[in-house]
Amino acid sequence: MLLQVLGTAAGGGVPQWNCACPGCSGARAHPHWRRRHASLAVQASEDRWYLVNATPDIGDQIENCPALHPGPGSRRTPIAGLILTDAELDHTLGIARLREAGAGGLELLATRPVREALLTRLRLEAVIGPYTPLTWREPSLEKPEPLAIDSPGSPDSADAPDCAVTISAIPVSAKRPRYAADLPGSAGDPWVVALLLTDRATGAKAVYAPALAAWPDALQSAVAEADCVIVDGTFWDDEEPRRTGISTRTATGMGHLPIDGPGGTAERLAPLRARCLYTHLNNTNPLVDPSAPQHEQLAGRGIEVAGDGMVIQL
């Protein structure tokens, strides 16, 4: 299984356009600090890739990854579709950027509440439909399915004999984006999911969870068996948003488990056998500074911080 890290920043990126915090100022002064919005490319077969989340940086992210470049035909692209882990704007605004897909259309894997939010509140079908058709598929919450299939209704058929990866979704939170706060639904709806990706040939497993408001038992079971775990590293500690003045809420109050401190995700990752990395870093997180001592703290526990452009082979 081949994974390409396309971006590792939380909403706004690093630097954020209207921010002069130490992280953003540092990124302006030192370009190697810069991070694009969190996204991942997954190779489903030799010439088919899926992008996890469609960020505002999607055009540059594709251009910076040669494996995603079009060719040999003038409009032939290896990008087969998009997987959405939630309906947040920083994970979906890039869908509009792919309207040039034309008659070939776009395939989107998303849970029912995410699809409904995008269709009813952002009116995605009405806005993008005149440019390119959208095909929706709901990822399984129960068992792995081939990531790439030719017949969306038949995931267990032989329609994707060359698909190297299976996917299943693990509900991790019912946190809604603000624009969908009043949509009908129940408290247990899967608004935010983690992804379990499995190599069909080797059995290697990767978990990708860029947004975590909670750590349910199903997620713990998945990471315990995984070979690679890439998770939400938005905030270093719970008080970071209030301490830096970006919010009156704590990290957990904003829907992101912190890295450090009691109950922090570092405590959960350290005992795992998997290669563990953080992504989705906010501009206030000290980890955006490559020389910050927090990197050494994580390294001492066997945990890394993912970097834009990183390639992970499992």
Give the C-alpha separation, 180 to 71, whole Å. Answer: 38
pLDDT at 153 over 50: no
DSSP designation for 117: H
Q: Taking a C-beta distance cutoff of 8 angstroms, is the pair 249, 242 a contact?
A: yes
Backbone angles phi, psi at 241, to 5 degrees: -60, -40
pLDDT at 213 over 50: yes
Q: How far is CA 105 from the centre of its chain?
A: 22
Question: What is the pLDDT confidence band of residue 152, given thresholds at 50, 70 and 90?
Answer: very low
pLDDT the model gives residue 312:
98
CATH of the domain at 57: 3.60.15.10
**In the block, residue with structure tokens 């998303």:** 110
pLDDT the model gives residue 181:
95
pLDDT the model gives residue 162:
82
pLDDT the model gives residue 160:
53
Top-confidence residue, 115 or 73: 115
pLDDT at 304 over 80: yes
Can you give the residue range of the structural domain that contains 131? Answer: 2-313
DSSP string, 217-266: HHHHHHHHH-SEEEEE-S-SSTTHHHHHTS-SS-TGGGT---SSSTT-HH
pLDDT the model gives residue 77:
95
pLDDT at 43 over 70: yes
If you compute the radius of gyration of the chain from its CA atoms, what whole number of angstroms results? 19
Give the C-alpha separation, 119 to 59, whole Å. Answer: 22
Determine the 3-state secondary structure of 192 from DSSP: strand
pLDDT at 208 over 60: yes
Mention every residue, 6+ apart, whose C-beta is less than 8 A from residue 4. Answer: 40, 41, 43, 49, 65, 67, 68, 309, 310, 311, 312
Q: Taking a C-beta distance cutoff of 8 angstroms, is the pair 132, 108 a contact?
A: no
Token pair for residue 58?
A: 């999607």
Q: What is the mean pLDDT of the chain?
A: 95
Top-confidence residue, 156 or 229: 229
Provide the residue count of the chain.
314
pLDDT the model gives residue 161:
55
pLDDT the model gives residue 151:
44
Top-confidence residue, 72 or 206: 206
Total number of domains constituting the chain: 1
Give the C-alpha separation, 295 to 5, whole Å. Answer: 19
Give the C-alpha separation, 64 to 66, whole Å. Answer: 6
pLDDT at 156 over 60: no
pLDDT at 144 over 70: yes
Tell me the pLDDT tens digit for each residue of 102-123.
888 999 999 999 999 999 999 9
pLDDT the model gives residue 104:
86
> What mean pLDDT is predicted for residues 36-54?
96
pLDDT at 70 over 80: yes
pLDDT at 209 over 60: yes
Top-confidence residue, 104 or 241: 241
pLDDT at 158 over 50: no
Give the C-alpha separation, 212 to 308, whole Å. Answer: 20
pLDDT the model gives residue 155:
39
Q: Taking a C-beta distance cutoff of 8 angstroms, is the pair 81, 75 a contact?
A: no
pTM of the model: 0.95
Give the C-alpha separation, 207 to 229, whole Å. Answer: 5
Mention every residue, 6+ apart, whose C-beta is less than 8 A from residue 94. Answer: 53, 54, 55, 56, 57, 58, 59
pLDDT the model gives residue 193:
98
